[in-house]
Amino acid sequence: MVKVNELVDVAHGVQSKRVFWDQEVYEQELERVFGRCWLFLTHESLIPNFGDFVTAYMGEDKVIVVRQKDGEIKAFLNSCTHRGNQVCHADSGNAKAFTCSYHGWSFGADGSLAALPLEQSAYYGKFDKAGAGLREVAKVDSYRGFVFGCFDAAAPSLPDYLGEMGWYLDTWMDGTGGAELVGPPMKSILRCNWKVPAENFIGDGYHVGWTHAAAIKVLGGPLSGLAGNAEIPFDDAGLQVTSRHGHGFGVIWDGLGLIHDDPAYREYAYANLPALTEKMGPWRAKLYTGHWNAGIFPNCSYLYGTNTFKVWNPRGPNEIEVWTWTLVEKAMSPELKAEVVKQAIHSFGTAGTLESDDGENMETCTWSNRGPQTRKGVMNSQMGQINDGEHPELPGIIGKNFIGETSYRGFYRFWAEMMQAENWDAVRANDATWKDALIKGAAE
Ligand code: UNU
Ligand code: FES
Ligand code: FE
């Protein structure tokens, strides 16, 4: 078992560089993080009808996500119960049955083994089909149409798992009639550890002016002043949030649509503002026109206001498969949706300008820590910790500015907790004290 307390020092904002490379850390993550947390699968609007399916990853496990006859959604391991072949090779579609390409076992939308070749002549009619269905993922649920799955039956419900983050997500998932994803997702490989993009997207406002200096200069608009950190608006420019289960974000006030320099999107959002303020109050109205760098622990990230929505699927400790959808609001016109999709592809699609800026850092952050001497070193995430605390109106822990590492520290605090805990009961036992190290660390 990995000694996690040697890897993450929450109170002092320090992490070992081993978290990006060690095979041992990785194997434990697959069991304890990906095996027990809620993982993003798809959006309900992408599988609206009975038999509609998408395939997805849950950590390294392949799954089939299928709309059932009664409208529910279930997920199954994409592995044949006969001799283990992959059952479904398509990315998405509508199927009456999933038939394995090896010997032809055939599974229904509910995962049950419906038919197998030569059942009478070779198995003499005695094969127990009831016990040979695809293994079902213990929990599948959706929050405002966003579908997640969890392998651990003892995990908290999806709303409980999202916790304080649900209050924030409701801003754009619920405030104006809901959001949806445009698929199919773009897919690409990055040679990096899955946590490098996860920790970046969860709120790294610090890199924007530097890593993306050229891109934001070329794109123009109000954000171009950030290029090279030439103009950094401080205290009132935004804030950072982290939550009980490691989800978090950093927000730039009034940043919606700015990376895309997109007046149509901004006009749409500002027209919604009076009704949204009425429904959700002034804080969430302010959040609604912001730009969020955000993460849902462990490996789902999105930029609200730039509208890229991603999952970093781990493929070993030093490779990921990136899946990228575009985030739109249901009430947008088809023209506006199409425009948002185009802009999201240009910025954070597989070959996007900003995506390729980030990709290079993500790969070198991983591979430069391969050497055993380098791995003995630590990384620093102390920025802004001195100001982290509770807020009278905002749930979670709040950091003072959009450039800070509040959400990053919260991500690693929960990562360490999941890596260490025997089970979800042991995690729940920390519910009253989870804020202590994050906030007290600031006082030391
Ligand atoms: O790279 C990002 N996460 C980003 C870029 C965030 C805000 C503006 C530009
Ligand atoms: Fe931040 Fe190098 S300056 S990783
Ligand atoms: Fe970036």
Q: Are 234 and 397 in contact (CB under 8 A)?
A: no
CA distance 16 to 107: 45
Q: Which residue, by CA, sits nearest to atom 4 of ligand 1?
A: 208
pLDDT confidence of residue 442: 63
What are 21-56's pLDDT values in tens digits?
999 999 999 999 999 999 999 999 999 999 999 999
**Ligand 1, pocket residues at CB < 6 Å:** 208, 212, 259, 291, 293, 303, 354
SS3 content of the chain, % helix, strand, coil (to 5): 35, 25, 40
Both 185 and 108 in a single domain? no
Both 21 and 56 in a single domain? no
Both 175 and 320 in a single domain? yes
Q: Is residue 338 part of a domain?
A: yes
Residue ranges of the chain with per-residue pLDDT less than 70: 233-235, 442-444
pLDDT confidence of residue 443: 61
> H-helix or E-strand containing 322?
strand 320-329
pLDDT confidence of residue 444: 57
CATH number at residue 405: 3.90.380.10
Both 192 and 284 in a single domain? yes
Distances in whole angstroms, Cα of residue 262 to Cα of each of 256, 257, 270, 310, 345: 9, 5, 12, 21, 14
Strand partners, 324: 186, 310
- CA 234 / ligand 2 centre spacing (Å): 20
Catalytic residues: 103, 204, 207, 212, 358
Both 293 and 219 in a single domain? yes
Closest atom, ligand 1, to C-alpha of 223: 8
The closest ligand to the CA of 304 turns out to be 1
- With CA atoms as reference, report the closest residue to 183 among 398, 40, 327, 296: 327
Both 251 and 200 in a single domain? yes
Q: Is residue 149 part of a domain?
A: no
Both 43 and 31 in a single domain? no
pLDDT confidence of residue 195: 98
Q: What is the pTM of this model?
A: 0.97
- CA 209 / ligand 3 centre spacing (Å): 9
Amino acid letter, residue 287: L
Sheet with 113-115, strands from edge to edge, namely 97-99, 106-108, 113-115
Both 305 and 373 in a single domain? yes
Both 74 and 197 in a single domain? no
Q: What is the 3-state secondary structure (H, E, C) of 200-219?
A: HHCCECCCHHHHCHHHHHHH
301 in helix, strand or coil? strand
- CA 215 / ligand 3 centre spacing (Å): 10
Q: Which residue, by CA, sits nearest to atom 1 of ligand 1?
A: 208
Q: Report ipTM for this prediction.
A: 0.92
Q: Compute the C-alpha angle 255/411/391, nearest 5°.
A: 60
Pairing of strands 320-329, 8-9: unpaired
Q: Which domain does 81 fall in, by range?
A: 39-142
Task: Identify which of 231, 291, 346, 405 to mutate to test ligand 1's pocket (most ligand atoms within 8 A of the CB).
Answer: 291
- CA 133 / ligand 3 centre spacing (Å): 43
Both 77 and 216 in a single domain? no
pLDDT confidence of residue 234: 65
Q: Are 87 and 100 in contact (CB under 8 A)?
A: yes
Both 191 and 319 in a single domain? yes
Q: Is residue 154 part of a domain?
A: no
Both 117 and 251 in a single domain? no
The closest ligand to the CA of 292 turns out to be 1
Q: Is residue 290 part of a domain?
A: yes
Q: Which of 85, 110, 142 is the last residue of a domain?
A: 142
**Tally of domains in the chain:** 2
Q: Which residue, by CA, sits nearest to atom 5 of ligand 1?
A: 208
Closest atom, ligand 1, to C-alpha of 357: 1
